[in-house]
Amino acid sequence: MSDQNFEAIYAIAASHDAIYLATQVGLFRQQDDSWESVYDTLELDTSLPTLSVALSPNYTQDQTLFAGVVGGIMRSDDGGQTWAAFRLPEPPSAVSAILFSPDFEQDGTVILSTLDDGIYRTTDGGSSWQPWNFGLLDRRILCLAANADFSSLLAGTETGLYHSSNQGQSWQWLDFPENLPPVLSVAYRADGSVLVGTETQGLYQASPTLDSWVQIGQNALSGAINAVLPAASSQSLIVLADDVVYVSDDNGDTWREQSQTSGATALARLNGSGAILLGKHDGSVTRQTIT
């Protein structure tokens, strides 16, 4: 992949036939062995920093994606060739994460989080958005996650962890130990258990009931847990701690540093395979196979 300078890579989204980068200078799609801006048709006078990007569950057919910017959400239904924009209320807040319902084609539901205004939700495919912050005491949302059928959602904040059992319409504060936040990353595993990465206190796991928390990797992982990626097998975990990728094949009992990963800022699994994509501090993007 090319060495184009993106200044900072915030997020990566990948499907079977497309890879998108959300960066400090805009949103880019891989074209052959290079990257092309997908905001060109907007004819912007300045760059449009993009903090988050997500592809619909049926992207290969519907070509729908959303990109989160400061103060709004961008929607494309043709793989980034044209865009519709929805402006969030003032003062502008950055969109930190985007989640598609697995039944998006039928229910049109997407949930996004912001760094100041909490949660917004659409049920019409992104034509309109409404705030859904009932029960949410901390509206600085740093990360979002949903289980496979969208029946359970988690939002990590600077002060705690919140749960929704009704697709984001209301939220309940979880009894996550108060000394552990900020929560920087969260993920559901295939068995329904949950992984939570903190800024200074390491990585924690809970059963699907979310009523007790156990630290894992405390003797191997150090620094901020910026991303958590349960791998294809039920025993495997991939974690971005500070700017280094660590891998465990035994549910977090032991860890190894993935070779040549220093400087990573974002990661994603490629096509659900054993390969991952890494965005790095220097603006480069690399593909690595987890060994």
At 193, which amino acid appears? S
pLDDT in tens, 80-109: 999 999 999 888 999 999 999 999 999 999
Q: How is residue 169 written in tokens?
A: 């319409």
27/81 Cα distance (integer angstroms): 12
74 in any annotated domain: yes
Of 78, 100, 131, the one marking the end of a domain is 131
Q: How is residue 28 written in tokens?
A: 């880019």
Residue bearing tokens 């924690």? 204
Q: Domain containing 16 — which CATH number?
A: 2.130.10.10
Residue range 154-167: average pLDDT? 96
Phi-psi region of 7 (alpha: psi -120 to 50; beta: other; left: phi over 0): left
Is the pLDDT at 160 greater than 80? The verdict is yes
Judge if 25 and 122 occupy the same domain: yes
Judge if 100 and 143 occupy the same domain: no
Q: How is residue 195 written in tokens?
A: 């992984």
pLDDT grade, residue 27 (50/70/90)? very high
Lowest-confidence segment of 60-64, 126-130, 142-146, 216-220 by average pLDDT? 216-220
Judge if 120 and 138 occupy the same domain: no
116 in any annotated domain: yes
Judge if 14 and 68 occupy the same domain: yes
Judge if 5 and 121 occupy the same domain: yes
CA end-to-end span of the chain: 21
Query: Residue 212: which domain range?
Result: 133-257
Residue range 113-138: average pLDDT? 96
Q: How is residue 266 written in tokens?
A: 């974002």
Judge if 116 and 169 occupy the same domain: no
pLDDT in tens, 194-239: 999 999 999 999 999 998 999 999 888 988 999 999 876 667 899 9
187 in any annotated domain: yes
pLDDT of residue 241: 94
Instruction: Report the DSSP beta bridge partners of residue 163.
Output: 154, 172
What is the chain's percent helix, strand, coil content, to nearest 5?
5, 45, 50
The backbone torsions φ and ψ at residue 129, rounded to the nearest 5 degrees and listed phi first, read -135, 145
Of 72, 97, 131, the one marking the end of a domain is 131
| Tally of structural domains, the chain | 2
Residue 133: CB atoms within 10 A of its CB come to 17
Work out the angle at residue 288's Cα, subtended by the Cα atoms of residues 67 and 76, and round it to the nearest 5 degrees. Answer: 15
Residue 180: CB atoms within 10 A of its CB come to 18
Is the pLDDT at 161 greater than 90? The verdict is yes
Judge if 95 and 140 occupy the same domain: no
Judge if 207 and 126 occupy the same domain: no
The backbone torsions φ and ψ at residue 40, rounded to the nearest 5 degrees and listed phi first, read -60, -35
127/84 Cα distance (integer angstroms): 9
Residue bearing tokens 């990465």? 197
Of 131, 149, 174, the one marking the end of a domain is 131
